[in-house]
Amino acid sequence: MNIIARVNELMQRAETFCLATVVASQNSEVPAGRKVIVCGDGSMQGDIGVVEELNLSVREAALASLDEKKSRTLEIQKGLRIFFNVLSPEATLIVCGAGHIAVPLARYAREVGFRVTVLDDRDDFANIARFPGCSVMVEAFTPALANMTLGKSAYVIVITRGHEHDADCLLEVLKKETAYVGLIGSRRRVSFVLEMIERQGIAPERIKDVFTPIGTPIGAESPAEIAFSIIAELVCVRRKGPGQARALRAAIGMNINVA
């Protein structure tokens, strides 16, 4: 098996995985430089050595690194040190709607490492002057999102100017795999939008994946504060996973955003 070719394939598919590399070894059967890939489902490609217990130890340590989303070097057994490198594709944020909240949101997202795309059908809102350093798309929401490639590294925020546009965005986004989908709005508006998309065929299980109210509930009121709360939630999902983000929301208590 060509490990490097497999690494490239996984990266192209936007998969998160752990590449375990022997960096120091006193065992002649396990030379330095040997590599093995461990995926999130526990599957392994390659092996560290002929002893099954060693491979199981490497697999366990790799899964722990994946769970913590943290690369590290560990001594698996005396004289055998392995670097567990957690590899993830670049996180991308698609902001549907270029209104007043989108401006600080895009700026904060770039500062914490997201590659940002802003989508709106109004060129007086969606332009490089308002969103420097971002990819800006001036197109109708439905065809733009239909043609957009998303995946496990894609985060989507729906903050359009009306519930019909919200529904149009969610109808396209929820057909695809994403790391996160968030919808802003009052309780009434959110309920109306979610009911609309369920009537149009989106499965209830997928609708439950939508984060709404959006953002970590810190009592945000101004556009900048709301954007800050959203970024906090995105960082939590990226670093700790959606389950931890939802647990944090529940622990703090929920607030309703007003669009």
Tens of pLDDT along 162-207? 999 999 999 999 999 999 999 998 889 999 999 999 999 999 999 9
pLDDT in tens, 87-100: 988 889 999 999 99
Distance of CA 36 to the CA centre of its chain: 25
Across the chain, mean pLDDT equals: 91
Confidence at 58, pLDDT banded by 50, 70, 90 = very high
Q: Which residues of 53-78 are buried (b: 16+ CB within 10 A; e: fewer)?
A: ebbebbbebbbebbeeeeeeebebbe
Q: What is the rounded radius of gyration, in angstroms, for the C-alpha atoms of the chain?
A: 21
Question: Is the pLDDT confidence value at 49 over 80?
Answer: no
Q: Is the peptide bond before 242 cis (omega within 30 degrees of 0)?
A: no
Choosing among 3.40.640.10, 3.50.50.60, 3.40.50.300, 3.40.50.720, the CATH entry for 92-252 is: 3.40.50.720
- Contact 97/227 with Cβ under 8 angstroms? no
Q: Where are the domains of the chain?
A: 3-87, 92-252
Average confidence (pLDDT) over 123-135: 96
